[in-house]
A and B are shown apart, each in its own frame.
Chain A
Amino acid sequence: MLVYLVRRLGQSLLAIVAMAVLVFAGVYAIGNPVDVLINPEATQAEIAATMQRLGLDRPLYEQFGIFVMNALQGDLGTSFVYGRPALAIIMERLPATMELALVALFLSVAIGIPLGVWAGLRPDSIAGRTIMGGSILGFSLPNFWQGMLLILVFAVLLGWLPAGGRGETTEFLGLQVSFLTWDGLTHLILPAINLALFKMSLIIRLARANTREVSLQDYVKFARAKGLSGRRVVMVHILKNIMIPVVTIIGLELGSMVAFAIVTETVFAWPGMGKLLIDSINLLDRPVIVAYLMLTVLIIVSINLLVDVIYSLLDPRIRLSEMKG
């Protein structure tokens, strides 16, 4: 297990280094870093000072070293717009995005798995077909378009829920969260559903396909032949088997949720780091873009690592073969 963990950790580090090289290449090697990293309105003296600080007058490999050293110390540049360290600005927005992504993930799992298992157990029933039809729709409707429809129906036509913003927040474990205040919760519902729908469709389809496959297995029939209740057969024998692929996908999709939050945050004006990214792109605030990219890569790689560890805990076969390997 330890060998496996260490090797997996090595792979993750490799991924981060690879992305760092790509970002560095994109910013320093392809573009002109002076344009990219230094505020166009800076004075000549400021430009000279920044160039020296970033080592832009040195050879490329030394520049990369400085970039990495700065990044390791959390210095990913200074925002042109806010005049503060880019990473700090992003970190302020991180809780809002993580709250949105986690609530959406919770919704997609809590609704998606039961629906998918149901559709998988009764693939030819009306309910099963309806669930599948709905999931094709959830799959096909682009995220931003779903969000706009939600706003159109629930905010504009019905007026039940606010169309955007985060609402009132309160402190929870030292972070500002929305879901604990009534106002915050009403603001959270639509964006969370929006972000959840696509993943929910994905989980429904995956859970359904796996349920169908698993329920045809001999061990499910054997479990029934042992006289177990239908409930135990589904909740233990089927569910535990489908959880392996489902957890993998859920984990990988949490990363993509952080990315897709860019769209939802833009549609619902949710003040997270995705909205910040789009604003920064429009304002050409490149240090913030770089910082966003590096932080997101770090988050996604960490999630992938975590998923693999959970995966190996869930599936005894993997655990064994990896331990041997």
Chain B
Amino acid sequence: MSQTTANAPVRVDSPARRILRQFMEDPVAVIGLILFVAIAALAIAAPWIAPQNPYDLTQLDIMDSALPPGEVSFGSGQTYWLGTDRQGRDMLSGILYGLRISLLVASVSLGLAITIGTIVGVTAAYFGGRLDSFIMRIVDLQLSFPAILIALILLALLGRGVDKVILALVIVQWAYYARTVRSSAIVERRKDYIDAARCLALSDRRIMFRHLLPNCVPPLIVVATVQIAQAIALEATLSFLGVGVPITEPSLGLLIANGYDYLLSGSYWISLFPGIALVVTIVAINLVGDRLRDVLNPRLQK
């Protein structure tokens, strides 16, 4: 990709600039983008900005158990702005660390799923024929089953763990990217210049990745924004159901699950605040994704 940019004439950045300009025309989408960037920054910076390390048991004080928001610690004098959970853990710190794990799981699985899906999709589109129909059969078969069902079964067989959740998310998501990439690439594949490139005896790999792939990027971005929101929600759901991340590395979903039992007894904050963090994250991504879909959709361009 970097080579493409280096060789390309200067005005190549104008579509990107047009997209950026059009994106910025929608204030709601801009708010979504700012929110998402802020959330991602908080998640990355969690170890440095969180008031306490929620996994360091020595920092926890059982006397501070289940304090409502705004209470001050009995021991350290620290203020718990979002309250504490049953173990006396500061919810604000727990949320920042949980956000970190949620985003880590989602983005790693996103990266892997895009990579696999793109390679499979471009390959199917480029070679066509039996290979193409075989691959697309598998994709269709997989997409005809709900993602949550596949992920749940995988995790039921594999057991809990951050790595296993990532694996499950990759397995349920790759097919979306494969289908997206294939359908854009196949349109491009039928154009004459690809045949010309083959006549020049350019290598298959070069044609696939230098000529076909760039045309798949806009729809890929749209699908990726939808899918990353889905991935975050799915991870949270799996963790909530108790088959996702382990207790030692709680994501937002697990924090919500931990507080669920106390919800009915009135300690609403243990579940509510991680939930709000989760929802704001997902809404922010969806707002950005909605706008990107409009901006990148060639059918809506005049």
Contact = CB atoms under 8 A, between A and B. Distances in A.
Touch test A–B (CB under 8 Å): yes
A255 interface: yes
A51 interface: no
Interface in A122-159: 136-137, 139-145, 148-149, 151-152, 155-156
B278 interface: yes
Given A144-B256, A145-B279, A152-B268, A282 B242 contact: yes
A278 B278 contact: no
A142 B156 contact: no
Interface string B263-302: 1101010011001001100110011001000000000000
A140 to B, nearest CB: 4
Nearest to B240: A144
Interface string A88-114: 000000000000000000000000000
A95 B210 CA distance: 54
A300 B243 contact: no
Contacts of A145: 236, 256, 275, 278-279
A310 B282 CA distance: 35
Given A142-B282, A148-B275, A281 B243 contact: yes
Contact of A255 (B146, B279, B282): B146
Contact of A144 (B157, B229, B237, B264): B237
Contacts of A293: 153
A296 B243 contact: no
A38 B157 CA distance: 15
A140 B229 contact: yes
A260 B146 contact: yes
Interface size class of A (residues with CB under 8 A): 35 or more
Contacts of A263: 148, 237, 240-241
Nearest to B280: A140
Interface string B197-235: 000000000000000000000000000000001000100
Contacts of A156: 263-264, 266, 268
A204 interface: no
B152 interface: yes
A31 B286 contact: no
A142 B237 contact: yes
A209 to B, nearest CB: 11
Interface in A292-313: 293, 296-297, 300-301, 304
A60 interface: no
A250 interface: no
A259 B146 contact: yes
A148 B263 contact: yes
Q: Give the interface SS of chain A, mostly helix, strand, loop or mixed.
A: helix
Interface string A216-250: 00000000000000000000000000000000000
Nearest to B286: A140
Q: Give the interface SS of chain B, mostly helix, strand, loop or mixed.
A: helix
A273 interface: no
A140 B282 contact: yes
A48 B293 CA distance: 59
Contacts of B240: 142, 144, 263, 266
A143 B237 contact: yes
A310 B52 CA distance: 58
Contacts of A260: 146, 148
A152 B241 CA distance: 19
Given A26-B157, A148-B260, A136 B271 contact: no
Contact of A136 (B149, B156, B263, B286): B286
A15 B144 CA distance: 9
B12 interface: no
Nearest to A198: B233
A206 interface: no
A276 interface: no
A130 to B, nearest CB: 14
Contacts of A281: 152, 156, 242-243
B145 interface: yes
A266 B241 contact: yes
A142 B235 CA distance: 10
A142, A152, A266, A289: residue with the most chain B Cβ atoms closer than 10 Å? A142
A140, A255, A282: residue with the most chain B Cβ atoms closer than 10 Å? A140
Given A142-B279, A256-B149, A262-B152, 20 more contacts: A15-B141, A141-B279, A141-B282, A142-B253, A144-B241, A144-B253, A145-B256, A145-B278, A152-B268, A155-B264, A156-B266, A259-B152, A260-B148, A262-B149, A263-B240, A281-B152, A281-B242, A300-B144, A300-B146, A300-B149
Interface of B: 141, 144-146, 148-149, 152-153, 156-157, 229, 233, 236-237, 240-243, 253, 256, 260, 263-264, 266, 268, 271-272, 275, 278-279, 282-283, 286-287, 290
The 6 closest A-B pairs by CB, nearest first: A256-B146, A259-B146, A259-B149, A142-B233, A140-B283, A140-B282
6 contacts: A30-B157, A136-B290, A137-B283, A151-B263, A163-B264, A255-B145
